[in-house]
Structure 1
Amino acid sequence: MTLTNIFSKTLLCTLVTLVLNLNTSYADEMLNKDYYPAPLLGLDNFFAHHVIVAEKSTHKLYLYQNKEGFPALIKTYQMATGKKAGDKQYQGDHRTPEGVYYLTQFLTHQDLINRHGKQGEIYGVGAFVLNYPNPMDHQEGKTGGGIWLHSTNDETRIEKGLDSRGCIVTANSDLIDISRYIELERTPIVVVHEVPFLSRDAWLTKKAKVEKTISQWLNSWRNEDINGYIDTYHNDFRDPRKGNLAQFKAYKKAVFAASGTPQIELYDLSLLQSGEYIMATFKQSYKSSTIEDLGRKTLYLKQDGFYNWKIVSENWSKHGVQDIITEENHVAFEPSNRFFETNNPKKILGKRLLSSRIEETESEEKSN
């Protein structure tokens, strides 16, 4: 074999390798190397059976599935985000918020037409509503609303990357596909500028540190140990009803002094991070001499000056657990077409899918 032939074959192999690498996402590469996305510290089969990660720097949507607590990438989609780069701060800034959110409501194509008239066509086949602003957004003084994950009647928008008033925009067929993995109130979407990855050991170590705080919080609550309990809270903690940490401690001290010891259990813990905050979500069972209830508990944690994870905000609600009477009657989630009657966008939109750009009007996401 001549040197020319050797060089030609080497060049061909190099080009093939480059092409293959271009078709392999960075997320795929990291998972294959036993690295895990840092925002997905813990998945479960209830509040995080599937998680959508929106990476603004690459305009990619990543769909992850829970595999025994570890994130497994199953699909990747293209998206467009707010016209202006950066994290959303106030109403009308045309930025996409960064944080951990849940998809709380679905609006069909007809819902959008009924709500916005002809201008509702710009949302394509449908829209999922994010719970922006979440408790941390409120605590940081962020304003605005109407942030959706929706499709479009002009899919050339997606190629532009920065092309919405704050929403996350996908192709119609992609939204239909993503919807198969969505369960309202139970499917989170994590919005970040860029997805960092951690080695398996670093990922497990970080997860263990957060779980240690939650374990201390739970055991101190069970034992009515006020000092151990308050030690798990950050100095910046605020309760919307009870006030700052000192006021919250006084309230809890009075509660702990009451007769009887509560029985508290938690199930289905998920840990998701965006920026400096980790959101821990789980089912909480509480029984005392006067109360017996099952609800959804959310703890927001951030590191203190000693790099310990501490609770900075918390919330309890029935959202996403209304249909669960006991832990035993929960049916595992299975992907299905629960939001759309067809996989064909043309059957939903008719002649409304346009190839040319329709300018956005003030009715589009007007409250965001």
Structure 2
Amino acid sequence: MYTRWFKRLTILVLLLVIAPAARPIFSDSMPTSLLIERKGKAAPGTPEQRILAAIDAIRAGQIADATATVEALLLEQPNYRLAHLLRGDLYAMRAMAIRGIGGGLDNKEVAAQLEDLRQEAFQRNQHRLNPPHVNKLPGNLLVFAPEMKHAILVDTRASRIYIYANDNGTPKYVTDFYATIGKLGFDKYKEGDQRTPLGVYFVTSHLPREQLDKTYGDKADLYGVGAWPLSYPNELDRSQGRTGHGIWLHGVPEATYARAPLASNGCVAMANPEMQKIAEYLQLGKTAVVIAPGVQWLTQDDWAKQRDRAMETVEGWRHAWAERQTSRYLNYYSDQFRSDDGQNLRTWSEQKASVNNSKDWVDIELKDLSIFAAGENGSQLVSSFEQDYRSNNLENRMKKRLYWQRDGQGWRIVWEGASNAG
């Protein structure tokens, strides 16, 4: 009898001491008198909906319901660290009042892990308070190429990844999930800086778990169910001297359901079940992944106007080139322009003026056009297309990309050349 009770006491102590970590949103102090012994009702829903329901129940003093919800969640996701931490807090409340998530665990040795989990809870709750704008459209997704079925939008500040469908050219919300980015945030510049890049990228391939196991051995567990490499560095990144490689969408280790908001080496990581769902929407070589420091939420009318302006800009460039209006054509280029073969604006201008003077006629057709916006407040446009160029002495077809930067006078091209993905 003594041995059995000793084992139970040991398990309880372990739950209080080693349960993992997180933060917001309890009341400043939760009196133990609220802990009425009754059978609670577990909240339904996704793991994220349940973890937030448990936090709400704790705040409301509905401890039995919170306990039932956490226990049901852990039966479904036994490695969900944030849920373990809440369970530890619920046990601690039986002995004392606590302040905030992780208040039942006062241990400096795990302070960093506690803060990670608190930030995860904070980001999930912020998303609930500011859900996707179902009546608005993301200004980051302007034009889908016809064969592009979906696009992925990553909001690095909000730790969120959105999936949008191509609904006859209009982005249609599908779903969204919590996501992890680089340990030191975003705007990657060099190899090893542990930041997630900002820009427009494309899913280039799929590395299933079996392949990762063969390549990385035990380290493959870092990527969970698999990895989907992105086209970082893109053409503009390379022209700006940005370095690094191996930026992927991927899962998380088996030992945890989710990672902290800032925890990867630069990749975008999701819970394994959610990464598997996202994978259903990925077309290798076609799906765009727009990584931005925030989403431009626009009314449908404002989105249509922004899309039309972007298309008119690309069409104006094409028309000026086809009509050999050299001065007007060159006005579309930035002083910081670079071409894929390293030309600056001066040498580019000289070449184009010479070429245009040698032509009797020019016809240019753009097919499979896509336009996406990245950067702060959509300050960068990326247009990709198949270019069919014909003139009296030359015919050429190529996949091409233009990177545009907004300045005080409108959009200017900062990079032009053959595309390497998408």
Q: TM-score range by the shorter chain?
A: 0.7 to 0.9
Alignment of 1:41 onto 2:142: yes
Amino acid at match of 1:295: M
Alpha-carbon distance between aligned partners in 1 of 2:150 and 2:212, rounded to the nearest angstrom: 26
Q: 1:177 aligns with which of 244, 258, 277?
A: 277
Q: Do 2:235 and 2:420's aligned partners in 1 also have CA atoms closer than 8 Å?
A: no
Q: Do 1:98 and 1:192's aligned partners in 2 also have CA atoms closer than 8 Å?
A: yes
Residue in 1 aligned with 2:182?
A: 82
> What are the residue-to-residue correspondences of 1:129-168 with 2, within 5 Å?
129-154=229-254, 156=256, 158-168=258-268
Alpha-carbon distance between aligned partners in 2 of 1:122 and 1:318, rounded to the nearest angstrom: 28
Alpha-carbon distance between aligned partners in 2 of 1:293 and 1:187, rounded to the nearest angstrom: 26
Structure with a larger share of its residues in strand: 1
Alignment of 1:310 onto 2:412: yes
Residue in 2 aligned with 1:366?
A: none
Alpha-carbon distance between aligned partners in 2 of 1:79 and 1:309, rounded to the nearest angstrom: 31
Q: 2:225 aligns with which of 122, 125, 138?
A: 125
Residue in 2 aligned with 1:99?
A: 199
Alpha-carbon distance between aligned partners in 1 of 2:209 and 2:239, rounded to the nearest angstrom: 34
Structure with a larger share of its residues in helix: 2
What whole-Å deviation, never above 9, does each CA across 1:136-181 have from its counterpart, x for those lacking one?
Answer: 2223332211111111233636242211111111122222222222
Displacement of 1:91: 1.3
Residue in 1 aligned with 2:398?
A: 295
Amino acid at match of 1:38: G
Alignment of 1:71 onto 2:174: no
Q: Do 2:179 and 2:261's aligned partners in 1 also have CA atoms closer than 8 Å?
A: yes
Amino acid at match of 1:286: Y
Residue in 1 aligned with 2:73?
A: none
Q: Do 2:127 and 2:158's aligned partners in 1 also have CA atoms closer than 8 Å?
A: no
Q: 1:23 to 1:149 in 2, by over 3 A?
A: closer
Q: 1:239 to 1:146 in 2, by over 3 A?
A: same
Alpha-carbon distance between aligned partners in 2 of 1:184 and 1:293, rounded to the nearest angstrom: 26
Amino acid at match of 1:40: L
Q: Secondary structure at the match of 1:85?
A: coil
Displacement of 1:126: 1.4
Alignment of 1:277 onto 2:277: no
Amino acid at match of 1:127: A
Alpha-carbon distance between aligned partners in 1 of 2:191 and 2:324, rounded to the nearest angstrom: 42
Q: Secondary structure at the match of 1:251?
A: helix
Displacement of 1:50: 0.7
Q: Do 1:157 and 1:163's aligned partners in 2 also have CA atoms closer than 8 Å?
A: no
Alignment of 1:258 onto 2:361: no
Alpha-carbon distance between aligned partners in 1 of 2:149 and 2:129, rounded to the nearest angstrom: 22
Residue in 1 aligned with 2:327?
A: 227
Q: Secondary structure at the match of 2:311?
A: helix
Root-mean-square deviation (Å): 2.5
Alpha-carbon distance between aligned partners in 2 of 1:54 and 1:153, rounded to the nearest angstrom: 21
Alpha-carbon distance between aligned partners in 2 of 1:85 and 1:98, rounded to the nearest angstrom: 10
Displacement of 1:55: 1.3
Q: Which of the pair has the greater relative contact order for Cα pairs under 8 Å at 6+ separation?
A: 1
Q: Do 1:283 and 1:295's aligned partners in 2 also have CA atoms closer than 8 Å?
A: yes
Aligned pairs, number: 298
What whole-Å deviation, never above 9, does each CA across 1:217-245 have from its counterpart, x for those lacking one?
Answer: 11112122211211111222111425211
Displacement of 1:317: 4.1
Q: 1:273 to 1:155 in 2, by over 3 A?
A: farther
What whole-Å deviation, never above 9, does each CA across 1:78-119 have from its counterpart, x for those lacking one?
Answer: 221111123212211111111111111211212212222221
Amino acid at match of 1:298: R
Q: Do 1:80 and 1:157's aligned partners in 2 also have CA atoms closer than 8 Å?
A: no
Alpha-carbon distance between aligned partners in 1 of 2:420 and 2:210, rounded to the nearest angstrom: 29
Alpha-carbon distance between aligned partners in 1 of 2:395 and 2:383, rounded to the nearest angstrom: 22
Displacement of 1:121: 2.6
Q: 1:60 aligns with which of 147, 155, 160?
A: 160
Displacement of 1:77: 1.8
Displacement of 1:319: 4.7
Which blocks of at least 5 consecutive residues in structure 1 are unaligned? 1-15, 321-368
Q: 1:180 to 1:165 in 2, by over 3 A?
A: same
Task: Identify which range, 152-161 or 269-278, moves more after superposition.
Answer: 152-161
Percent identical: 32
What whole-Å deviation, never above 9, does each CA across 1:24-46 have from its counterpart, x for those lacking one?
Answer: 68453x232xx221211222323
Q: 1:241 to 1:22 in 2, by over 3 A?
A: closer
> What are the residue-to-residue correspondences of 1:341-360 with 2, within 5 Å?
none
Larger radius of gyration: 2
> What are the residue-to-residue correspondences of 1:237-248 with 2, within 5 Å?
237-248=337-348
Alpha-carbon distance between aligned partners in 1 of 2:216 and 2:420, rounded to the nearest angstrom: 31
What whole-Å deviation, never above 9, does each CA across 1:49-74 have from its counterpart, x for those lacking one?
Answer: 31111112222211001112221110
Alpha-carbon distance between aligned partners in 2 of 1:259 and 1:61, rounded to the nearest angstrom: 48
Alignment of 1:218 onto 2:321: no
